[in-house]
Amino acid sequence: MPELVVTALLAPSRVTLKLLRAFMWSLVFCAALLTAAVYGCIALTHVLCRPRRGCCGRPRRTPPACLSDPTLGEHCFLTLKSSGLRLHYVSAGRGNGPLMLFLHGFPENWFSWRYQLWEFQSRFHVVAVDLRGYGSSDAPRDVDCYTIDLLMADIQDVILGLGYSKCILVAHDWGAVLAWNFSIYYPSLVERMVVVSAAPMSVYQDYSMHHISQFFRSNYMFLFQLPWLPEKLLSMSDFQILKTTLTHRKRGIPHLTPNELEAFLYDFSQPGGLTGPLNYYRNLFRNLPLEPQELATPTLLLWGEKDTYLEQGLVGAISSRFVPGRLEAHILPGVGHWIPQSNPEEMHQYMWAFLQDLLG
């Protein structure tokens, strides 16, 4: 078929897609302004209630002792083949079994996997990374350095750079969003997957279009589309919004100690410490709308019944995309979003059972 005819036939579809994306971005921008107003009021309230803390976050000069706990593993750095960036990771149990790679969420770092590092190092080589932009890993400031494709290349480089051809991928929140994509585009590198509290991007997109209430649960992601303002709001009153997120009586991590809280705040309090993590969100809508994708990697999915940020209905939506027999899903009663830290014993029981056949 002549090229001009093909171009003419495709033109309406291209125009429709461009109009759809323009409409989507206008909605995102309006939602961003609205959420900025709401979070601005919240941040200002924190400042007025705690005037001694001021409008800026206090940079932490010394990392808390728990970040240097030798029982968690050895601190190492790996230079990535694709980008040349250096990623920080904590490693334990090398030589004890297959690679178990942990990917954290926001606002966290490698330390969010402390219970799993202790639990699984006897039978696996456990590695918890600081993702690009987090903690001691390199943090380019450009938004374009945090696209999904680049972040997936980081995971590939970590697996191969550590000398493995495949891994058991364990991920939570943003790390799990990356893990879903990675299992689709790099299936040969993922032997099993444990996903906690996150849906594939295409599933989240389709579900949210039919359940607007999910957008309200994740309203913060609209705020994070804006430049510089989210960094300012999150740091006001010495990072009170982040403190509340992590320690709230109902929505936060139960029994989180002040020292453990500082393990997360230390990195965010450094100059530019919030920009890299927020750039993940600033790329979130770049490739929408997304096509449905079939999921085939053997996966254990753990979900909190009381998750503040994600509706239970997403579990059914995820299940509908799976090849039959490849997904084992559990909704934990009375549990919130932070399962690896709030309910490690339950998580470990499900993981040992799911991985039993790999242990011989």
For the annotated catalytic residues, the residue numbers are 173, 281, 337
Contact (Cβ atoms closer than 8 angstroms) between residue 49 and residue 234: no
| Cis? peptide before 107, omega within 30° of 0 | yes
Please, how many CA atoms are within 13 Å of residue 300, restricted to the half-sphere of its CB?
20
Q: Count CB-CB contacts under 10 A for residue 350.
A: 17
Which conformational region is residue 117 in: left (phi greater than 0), alpha (psi within -120 to 50 degrees), or beta? alpha
Could you tell me which of 12, 164, 154, 169 has the C-alpha nearest to residue 79? 154
Q: What is the DSSP letter of 51?
A: G
CA dihedral 131, 326, 293, 206 (to 10 degrees): -90
Residue 354 one-letter amino acid: F
* 135-141 CB contacts, 8 Å cutoff, 24+ apart: 135/88, 135/109, 135/110, 135/267, 136/75, 136/77, 136/88, 136/267, 137/85, 137/86, 137/87, 137/88, 138/85, 138/86, 138/87, 139/272, 139/273, 139/275, 139/276, 140/85, 140/276, 141/272, 141/275, 141/276
Q: Taking CA 353 as the corner, what is the angle to CA 349 and CA 354, rounded to the nearest 5 degrees?
A: 115
Residues 131, 137 contacting (CB under 8 angstroms): yes
Residue 295 DSSP symbol: B
Q: Read off the DSSP letter of residue 324.
A: T
